[in-house]
């Protein structure tokens, strides 16, 4: 049977992984917006020939595809991100982390217990 502490740990790890992925997607959107600005300025200011413009267009398209994937991830998962960002819910997750530590401490105490005879 799966121990409750392992279940809680798996849940908290999944939440933590989601937070990292969501933050990474937000950063990707910011980075891709900046990169897009660089592409636009290159088209405007650099003296590019046909081949240079074609290469830039290919990079621009890849940039837009990557940005779209990140934005889609953000849009799809926004309700969960909002739930996790709520202060009351953050307190619950913090309490759950503390409870996980207490469960592990109790489990360790039970694993290491010994009985000392009291009689002769």
Domain that holds residue 12: 4-110
Q: Is residue 96 part of a domain?
A: yes
Number of domains present in the structure of the chain:
1
Is the residue at 117 inside a domain?
Answer: no
Mark 86-101 as b/e (b = at least 16 C-beta within 10 Å). Answer: eeeeeeeeeeeeeebe
Residue 55, in any domain of the structure = yes
Instruction: Name the DSSP class of 112.
Output: T
**pLDDT tens digits, one per residue of 30-83:** 999 999 999 999 999 999 999 999 999 999 999 999 999 999 999 999 999 999
Name the most confidently modeled range: 23-27, 91-95, 100-104, 110-114.
23-27
Residue 120 lies in a domain: no
CB atoms within 10 A of CB 58: 10
Give domain status of residue 59, yes or no: yes
pLDDT digits (tens, 9 = 90+) for 21-33: 999 999 999 999 9
In a domain, 95, yes or no: yes
What residue has token string 């469960």?
103
Confidence (pLDDT) at 99: 93
Question: What's the rounded Cα separation, in Å, for the pair 57 and 50?
Answer: 10
């Amino acid at each position: 049977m799966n121990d409750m502490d392992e279940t809680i740990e798996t849940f908290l790890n999944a939440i933590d992984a989601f937070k990292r992925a969501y933050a990474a997607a937000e950063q990707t959107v910011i980075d891709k917006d900046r990169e897009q600005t660089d592409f636009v300025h290159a088209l405007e200011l650099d003296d590019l020939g046909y081949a240079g413009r074609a290469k830039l267009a290919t990079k621009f398209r890849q940039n837009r595809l990557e940005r779209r994937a990140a934005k889609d991830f953000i849009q799809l998962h926004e309700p969960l991100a909002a739930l996790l960002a709520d202060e009351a819910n953050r307190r619950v997750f913090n309490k759950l982390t503390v409870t996980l530590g207490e469960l592990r401490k109790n489990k360790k105490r039970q694993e290491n217990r010994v009985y000392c005879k009291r009689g002769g």
